[in-house]
Amino acid sequence: MSGPKVRLHVDQPLGEGQAVAVLEGAANYLFAVMRLGTGAEVLLFNGRDGEWRARVAEANKRRGVLVCEAQTRRQDFPPDLWLLFTPVKKERTNFIVEKAVELGVARLMPVSTRRMNAERLRLDKQQAHAIEAAEQCGATFVPGISDLQPLDRLLAGWDPARRIYWADEIRAGSDGTWPGAPGAPAAILIGPEGGFTPEERAKLDSLDFVSPVALGPRILRAETAALAAVTLWQRSFGDWA
């Protein structure tokens, strides 16, 4: 017998016998798009209580009720890795967010730099992309996304206990060794399409908590660099090690 085909993120408590209300968009998706009816099974998660199998108790296009029956997975949290990235064009920024969730990033932090060339960042849209990615990849955790902030301000208030790995395109082809240890809080910094300015580079080079790293022998586009950097960190220090 096949299991539930639909997986849904909700912002409500989950537990045995817990009734979960679904409204508007979620109800339309479940009952109009996916055509689920009373008695159908759905997998639910909220980022806190693990994953639960729930059954549809009430269903119509505008609202419904699901009742949790059994926990199918315990709550998992990714390693303490943050991704700092300069937004790029819309679809490519969406790609960065979605794949960062799939690869296991704990937080996403957009940063503005002097050569940033992107449209206005819609935080609500990006959070929706993160939720959708978690629904699709089986994650039980959805990383939060911070408001866009200038790089200088971010660095000025940074906790030096969290090392920043700066993906420096100028170092392409150099030694790929990354300093650090498993379990230590960390962040990865990906710059804009045009690279950092000399002033930004000088600032990053002056900070003890910033470690410039190479991502292989070729210069990568921003979205490729983000995925490569997270993968390398996960393999060395994260839950892939």
Phi, psi (rounded to 5 degrees) for 9: -85, 135
Q: Where do the structural domains in the chain lie, given as residue ranges? A: 7-73, 81-237
Location of structure tokens 């029956």: 69
Location of structure tokens 């906790």: 159
Per DSSP, which regions of 101-226 are E strands? 107-112, 144-145, 149-150, 163-167, 186-190, 210-213
Domains 7-73 and 81-237 are alike in CATH topology:
no
- Local confidence pLDDT in tens for the 241 residues of the chain: 467 989 999 999 999 999 999 998 899 999 999 999 999 999 999 999 999 999 999 998 889 999 999 999 999 999 999 999 999 988 999 999 999 999 999 999 999 999 998 767 889 999 999 999 999 999 999 999 999 999 999 999 999 999 999 999 887 667 667 888 999 999 999 999 889 999 999 999 999 999 999 998 888 999 999 999 999 999 999 998 7
Q: Which CATH class name applies to 81-237?
A: alpha beta
CATH architecture of 7-73: Beta Barrel (2.40)
- CB-neighbour burial class of residue 12 (10 A; exposed 0-12, middle 13-18, buried 19+): middle
